[in-house]
Amino acid sequence: MNFESELKKGNLVISECIDCKKITWPPSEFCNQCLKETSWRKCSDLGKIIEFSKQNDIYFGIIQFENSIRIMGKIISGNPEVGKTVQVVECGVSDSEYVLKMKVVEE
């Protein structure tokens, strides 16, 4: 199991240290704090918009998950604003690029 093989199956996973419990990002087999091994676990599918912009009709942005990891992806529905919550609707690998699509969760 690794990050990319899980992402190919549509699962967003993160690497958490088996010892100090810190999350290492970008994902790695080893903790970048204490250099011990990590284990994989599922990441929350709810994230927060840190910043975004728009190309043609597509919004793209930096989304933060679990208060620590940040990924760029497409925001495919809703009205994005900094701080708003988004939910992952699709993730995977296409042409060896990581694909992340999200929708805004309107409160």
Partner 1 sequence: MDKVAIAGYGITKFTKDDSKIESVLLNSSRNLFRNSPNLTQKDIDAVLVSSNNNSKYLSAILSEISGIQPKIAHTVESLCNSGTNSIVAGYSYIASGLADCVLVSGAERYDSPGQILEWDKFRGEFKHPIFWASIFSKAYKQKYSIKDEDLALVSVKNHKQSINNPNALSQKEYSISDVLNSKKLTDDLRLLDCSRPCTGGASILLTSEEVCKNFTDSPVWITGIGQKTTSASFTKNLTFDNMESTKNAAIRALQMSKHSVADVDVMELHDAFSVCEPMALDSLGMTQEGKGMDMVKEVYETENTKINPRGGIIGSGHPLGATGIAQTIEITQQLQSVAGKRQVDNAKIGLVHNMSAASTSSTVLVLEN
- The residues that touch Zn ion, with contacts defined as CB under 5 A, are 17, 19-20, 22, 31, 33-34
Residue 78 CB contacts under 8 Å (≥ 6 apart), including other chains? 84, 86, 103, 104, 105, 106
Cβ atoms of 30 and 36 within 8 Å: the answer is yes
Among 62, 76, 85, 89, binds partner 1 (CB under 8 A): 62
Part in contact with partner 1 (CB under 8 A); list of ranges 9-17, 36-44, 45-53: 45-53
Least distance in Å: CB of 105 to partner 1?
20
Part in contact with partner 1 (CB under 8 A); list of ranges 9-17, 40-48, 72-80: 72-80
Least distance in Å: CB of 14 to Zn ion?
13
